[in-house]
Amino acid sequence: MNRGALYHRHKQNWAFMYDDAHVRVRLRTARGDIDEAVVCYGDKYDWHGTECRTPMTIRLSDSLYDYWEADLAVGTRRLSYRFLLGSGRERIYFGERWLGEQPPEESFGNFEYPYMNPDDAIRPPGWVKDAVFYQIFPDRFARSGAVAAGTFEPWGSAPTKQNAFGGDLSGVLDKLDHLTALGVDAIYFTPLFQAPSSHKYDTENYYAVDPQFGTVETLKALVEACHARGIRVLLDFVFNHTGSRFPPFQDVLERGPASRYADWFRVLRWADPDTGVSLVYETFGYEADLPKLNVSHPETADYLLQVASYWLREADIDGFRLDVANEVDHRFWRRLRETVKAVKPDAYLLGEIFHDAMAWLGGDQLDAVMDYPVRDLAIKFFASRTIDAETFANIVSQQLAMYPQQVCEASFQLLGSHDTARLLTLCGGDEARMRLAVLFQFTYIGAPCIYYGDEIGMSGENDPDNRRCMVWEPEAQNRELFAFYRDMIALRRAHGALRGGGIRFLHAPAGGSALAYERYAGDERIVVAFNVGEQPQTIRFASEQSVAGDEAGGETWVEAWEELRTGEVRLPDGGGLELPLGPYGCAVLRHRV
């Protein structure tokens, strides 16, 4: 047995309350190394009277490790536990402070989940896993009739880093039918508070809607209209930095260390008119226009918390997308969570973090992050085709094992944003590849988000080309693609197993371009299969490959979405399943229960 590969520790992604009555424990072992894993658990105050055993199953595997899981019902809410591992004839016990063939008599040295305090449970808002988001960049989505002609660039001309097109919130209001027809039920707006740039990440006034976009009243009317249609609204807040026109920063520029806002920013060196030395301060990414806020200063933190509270109460928004969340201190996020959840317990706190975000997702700070790591893999597998199915499945599995299940369910799944080139462009303009990526997005764990215009076939390279004006002329829109997106949303809504529950890869060969996985929750199981290559392929599953381990043959599988069918599904006599997939083919099958 490869003992060096064994890993477990309590809390975080290794032992967490998935619901109020269960602790899910996860154990890492070297891939393919162990035949059997069992959790021995009980109450440490009555170990001999309560000790019981539950077998674990491998739910995920990456290139190096298997991840075993078991859900433990803990009657006394106190959990002491150790693992019994078997490989060939070898049997060892694994605890927090020992490893060996004989476990200690008592529970001393076991792992502990000391008490299942309800307040320690990680509880992202329940609605998120069922939601489908649509991202709007307000300057480029829609311009209402109220905007004076000639003030802005002509709609549809080429975006540059500086120019503005006059999009506004009334324009969004006029276009809500588009979103309803598509079927989305949440909007993520990039910033709309007053700021000089077209992207508005350089906040000048946190309390005002940018005059180009409208007023507080327009925003309130828009949120109300969205709510009436069952659409939730998420706004983008920039608390890491401000714009240089933010009045407290202007005051610092004017008064130097004498400014009452001197501690609001991270000044490294004050200007000295005598020596000609100029002011040096920390910024976002070396951008002089984006001075970094010092949220460790109580006044600054209080100010920003009041901003959050104001917009929740005033405009009844449903969540916050938090810019550069990984560069703001944890203490501030804890305070923000308390502030926000006190006003609206099911508001969604979504952080922009591009890497391992467990340190923010323990239930006391953010609810979720934008899943750029999985987006990156999806782009490489479906769009640029620079990784094979095995690499894709391994790294996706590794990502899933890094978080508690409920955190994965509430994550924000995107294939593109205002910070990336557009999906269709990354697919080289090939719509077939794009559709496969979108099918993945809508059958994977986490709430999908459509970047405005992707659904009607817009293309665009990196910023600023990815921020072109939305195309509204019906003849210039790809309506078949729109119908496909609408179908994908409907498919996801029709099956709980696509929105919650687990995922298991069934077919992901090294060097391969065909991929299949199963989504499962309760009795429901959905198999999704793809061929991202130009050659036809047939994927074969043995019955035992199915997660539930029962018959995957006979008449138990039906097509969940016939429009996607690319070949005749075959059910061989000996059980199992055969899926012939044409070039860029795919299939979605449902287990009939």
Which residue of this chain has its Cβ atom nearest to ligand ARE in the complex?
Answer: 201
Identify which of residues 17 and 238 has a Cβ nearer to ligand ARE in the complex.
238
Catalytic residue among 168, 185, 210, 323: 323
User: Cβ 20 to ligand ARE, closest distance in Å?
Assistant: 35
Report the greatest alpha carbon distance in the chain: 90
Burial of residue 211 (CB within 10 Å: 0-12, 13-18, 19+) is exposed
Q: Is 465 in the site for ligand ARE (CB under 6 A)?
A: no
Q: Which of 69, 139, 352, 518 is catalytic?
A: 352
Decide whether 202 or 388 has the Cβ nearer to ligand ARE.
202
Secondary element (H or E) of residue 405: helix 405-409
SS (H, E, C) 444-473: CCCEEEEECCHHHCCCCCCCCHHHCCCCCC
Q: Does 201 bind ligand ARE (CB under 6 A)?
A: yes
Print burial letters for 382-417: b (CB count within 10 Å at least 16), e (below 16).
bbeeebbbbbbbbbbbbbbbbbbbbbbbbbbbbbbb
Q: For residue 287, list its beta bridge partners.
A: none
Residue 448 sits at the vertex; the CA angle it makes with 241 and 156, to the nearest 5 degrees, is 70
Phi and psi angles of residue 462, each rounded to the nearest 5 degrees, phi first: -60, 165
238 is an interface residue for ligand ARE by CB under 6 A: yes
Q: Say if residue 35 is exposed, middle or buried (CB neighbours under 10 Å; 0-12, 13-18, 19+).
A: exposed
Q: Does 352 bind ligand ARE (CB under 6 A)?
A: yes
- The reply to whether 463 sits near ligand ARE by the rule CB under 6 A is yes
If the CB atoms of residues 426 and 508 are measured against ligand ARE, the closer one turns out to be 426
- Residue 310 in contact with ligand ARE, rule: CB under 6 A: no
Helix H or strand E segment including 22: strand 22-30
User: Residue 190 or residue 405: which is nearer to ligand ARE going by CB?
Assistant: 190
- With vertex at residue 323, the alpha carbon angle to CA 318 and CA 326, rounded to the nearest 5 degrees, is 115
Work out which of 122, 324, 423, 539 binds ligand ARE, going by CB under 6 A: 324
Determine contact, residues 443/519, Cβ cutoff 8 Å: yes
Indicate which single residue of 120, 287, 487, 524 sits in contact with ligand ARE (rule: CB under 6 A): 287
Collapsing DSSP states into helix, strand and coil, what is residue 252? helix
- Closest C-alpha among 186, 201, 301, 189 to residue 243: 201
**Binding of ligand ARE at residue 284 (CB under 6 A)?**
yes
Sequence letter at residue 327: E
Helix locations, 157-285, DSSP H: 169-174, 176-182, 216-228, 247-255
**CB 567, min distance to ligand ARE, A:** 37
**CA gap 37, 15 in Å, rounded:** 16
Q: How far is the CB of 290 from ligand ARE (least distance, A)?
A: 6
Nearer to ligand ARE, 204 or 352 (CB): 352
- Nearest to ligand ARE of 370, 564 (CB atom): 370
Spell out, one character per residue from 94 to 133, where the chain touches ligand ARE: x when CB under 6 A holds, - when not: ----------------------------------------
For residue 199, the minimal CB distance to ligand ARE (Å) is 4
Of the pair 303, 354, the CB lying nearest ligand ARE is at 354
418 binds ligand ARE (CB under 6 A): yes
E-strand ranges in 46-126 read: 52-55, 57-61, 65-73, 79-87, 90-94, 99-100, 111-113
**In the complex, what is the shortest distance from the CB of residue 354 to ligand ARE, in angstroms, rounded to a whole number?**
4
185 is catalytic: no
Catalytic, 272? Answer no
Q: Does 380 bind ligand ARE (CB under 6 A)?
A: no
Minimum CB separation of residue 544 from ligand ARE in Å reads 39
Contact between 323 and ligand ARE by CB under 6 A: the answer reads yes
Q: How far is the CB of 203 from ligand ARE (least distance, A)?
A: 9
Q: Is residue 199 at the binding interface for ligand ARE, with CB under 6 A as the rule? A: yes
Q: One-letter amino acid identity for 462?
A: N
Report if residue 161 touches ligand ARE, rule: CB under 6 A: yes
Total residues at interface with ligand ARE (CB under 6 A): 14
Nearer to ligand ARE, 161 or 592 (CB): 161
Nearest distance in Å: CB 464, ligand ARE: 6
The residues assigned a catalytic role are 323, 352
Task: Give me the residues that bind ligand ARE (CB under 6 A), please.
Answer: 161, 199, 201, 238, 284, 287, 323-324, 352, 354, 418-419, 463-464
